[in-house]
Chains A and B, each alone.
Chain A
Amino acid sequence: MNTTTASAGFALRRKPGAFINETWSLYRRAITKLARRPVILYFSLVQPMVWLLLFGQIFERIARAPGFAEAFGGQSYLAFFAPAVILQTILFGAGQSGLGLISDLDSGFLSKLLTTPINRLAILLGKILGDMTRMLMQAVIILLATFLAGLRFGDGGLQMTITYAYGLPGILAALGIALLFGLMLAGLNVTVALTTRSNEATFLISNFLTLPLLFTSSAQLPLEFLPGWLQAIAKVNPLTYTIDALRLLLYGPSSIPAGSNAGSVIGSALLILLALASIMLLAGARSFRRVTK
């Protein structure tokens, strides 16, 4: 922002930290809202638990079947499936980013924000950061539940059946990738919400994308278990890349398809997600600017 000298005789200069302060205030608002709606928080956590434990049990034997274990990286199906549940939760929850903006638009709250001298993008950023926080909480809790479900009582007392190949750094890196995936979806949903300006449409579109994306990827089963045509689709589905990267960072090289190289799995996931997230966020910012013009 430039210095504006008002003819009324005072100078207005935007302080360098102004944008950060504004984003912080709006981020705090988003978090407060989240905490005040315990029902939403509760169900956004309970649903993934149901998926995790139910699916984890249903397919458990497949991962143990002779000759199959290798495809699952020698892990339990629960462990194999956990990264998929994280992404699935983010997919289902991402619609929220758009819905919040529409309700601010409808309620007149946005108009009020726009008559304050803040940087417009702080509104969008505060909102998206709030959603990322929710996603992070969900991902951490799913990882925690997976860890607990993987504990067994054996000869020497409590034992871990899931091995985290790279320990905490690997887990943190996996969370980072998951958040990048969430950022991309938040951008997409903001764009859809601000373009349609309708809660119903946003909800429908985000749900419409969720299941096909999940089922045409390696989320439920290793790629080689899918029919040929589906494998072809899965190979261009960004979800496959994201999920492979998560499995690699959590459980090590044995969990990714044979013959793929660890560096290229992480590299291609980062590249694809960074590119898509940038595009989506730019589109989101663009549609936001159009609405707030």
Chain B
Amino acid sequence: MTPVIEVQNLTKTYPDGTQAVRSISFHVEEGEIFGFLGPNGAGKSTTIKMLITLLRKTSGDMRIMGLDVDANPDAVRRLIGYAAQEVGVDDDLTARENLLLQGELFHMDRNTLHRRTDELLNLMDLAGDAHRPAGSFSGGMRKRLDLATGLIHQPRVLFLDEPTTGLDPQNRANLWVYLERLNKQENLTIFLTTHYMEEADKLCQRLAIIDQGQIKTIGSPRQLKQEIGGDVIILRFANNGQSVAQQSEQAQTVLGDAPFISGIDRFDEGLNVYTRNGGEAVADVLRLLDARGLRVAQLSLSNPSLDDVFLKHTGSKIRDEAPMQNWRNVRGGPFGRRR
């Protein structure tokens, strides 16, 4: 069967010479939720804009349902729905008017359009507020309306650029439920970009880790985490006469020879140490470091997370933005198990 999205060696170089996307290849199967996980500036939005016909590629091949995107932009537009990071609804129009306008632009016939509008208002739990202007909606409701307007013409694939950026944790988790519902009830293929690991972990059946315009690895979240194997001990150092970098380097040398350690990755504030049984290894790790006079400022032990996968493939940690911070403080802390 033809994949819904097929991308081969896609490249985008901006006129100023910036190579935003460097020869990436991937495919998305029907009914899949597929994600691009990467930091801001990794090339996620550029890729999505090329796929939804808003930006021209420099080279490579993009197909949606077998159609060459650049050669058939209008045909592709009928097959895709899109919700940008910004909420693209008209605040002066009611929820219903927003949906009807969008449907009219797809030249849907009246009956189908009205039936579909009711269907989406129900699906997104907006039926009770259908006659209120979108400007009076909460952030979560506006986002749901935005999703609905992107779905009015029953697209085969929905593109979401950072769907939950700017939402508080509760609304974010809420939106995930709606996305999963759409995926199941409408057998909708979803392509999304995110820099929230938790989102990628929770929603995506498969994901690509993207950094500096390149895909570093592709797989299901579980697969990717299993590749790391065992547990992760995260060591953080603080400046104490010796710089963090120096301490990290020394620690890496000391621990590098230990037989119970399967791998080490460095990040700005310290090290990720991979081991089969973290609980047993912690004491040994500390003893080895102590013998060299290295003091660990903070230590945590966890199962591998996508953050660790990211570090392993890119050499740096992905930085979550503010809203996630709250969750981290609640769930983990020094010496606690992370999310």
Contact = CB atoms under 8 A, between A and B. Distances in A.
Interface of A: 1, 4, 6-8, 12, 14-15, 18, 21-22, 25-26, 28-29, 32-33, 36-37, 106-118, 293
Interface size class of B (residues with CB under 8 A): 35 or more
Interface in B135-151: 146, 149-150
Interface stretch (B76-84, B168-176, B212-220, B235-243): B76-84
Nearest to A35: B92
Interface of B: 52-54, 56, 65-67, 72-75, 77-93, 97, 101-102, 104-107, 133, 146, 149-150
A107 B86 contact: yes
B184 to A, nearest CB: 24
28 contacts: A6-B67, A8-B75, A8-B79, A12-B74, A12-B78, A29-B93, A29-B101, A32-B92, A32-B93, A36-B92, A108-B87, A108-B88, A109-B89, A110-B88, A112-B84, A112-B102, A112-B150, A113-B105, A114-B53, A115-B52, A115-B77, A115-B81, A115-B150, A116-B77, A116-B102, A117-B73, A117-B77, A117-B105
Nearest to B91: A107
Contacts of B75: 4, 6, 8, 12, 117
Given A22-B105, A116-B106, A117-B78, 10 more contacts: A4-B74, A8-B75, A8-B79, A25-B105, A32-B92, A108-B87, A111-B82, A114-B53, A115-B150, A118-B105
B86 A15 contact: no
A29 B88 contact: no
Contact of B86 (A32, A36, A37, A108): A108
User: 6 tightest A-B contacts by CB?
Assistant: A108-B86, A112-B88, A108-B88, A117-B74, A108-B84, A116-B105
Contacts of B92: 32-33, 36-37
Most A-side CB within 10 Å, residue of B52, B66, B75, B91: B75
A109 B91 CA distance: 10
Contacts of A110: 88
B97 A109 contact: no
B53 to A, nearest CB: 7
Given A8-B65, A111-B54, A29 B105 contact: no
A132 to B, nearest CB: 19
A115 B92 CA distance: 21
B80 A115 contact: yes
Contacts of A36: 92-93, 133
A73 to B, nearest CB: 43
A254 B184 CA distance: 76
Contacts of B72: 4, 6
Nearest to B56: A293
Contacts of A293: 56
A117 B106 contact: yes
Contacts of B97: 32
Contacts of B84: 108, 111-112
A91 B106 CA distance: 35
Nearest to B71: A4
Contacts of A114: 53-54
Nearest to B80: A115
Contact of B66 (A4, A7, A12, A107): A7
Contacts of A37: 92
A36 B56 CA distance: 37
A272 B37 CA distance: 56
A26 to B, nearest CB: 8
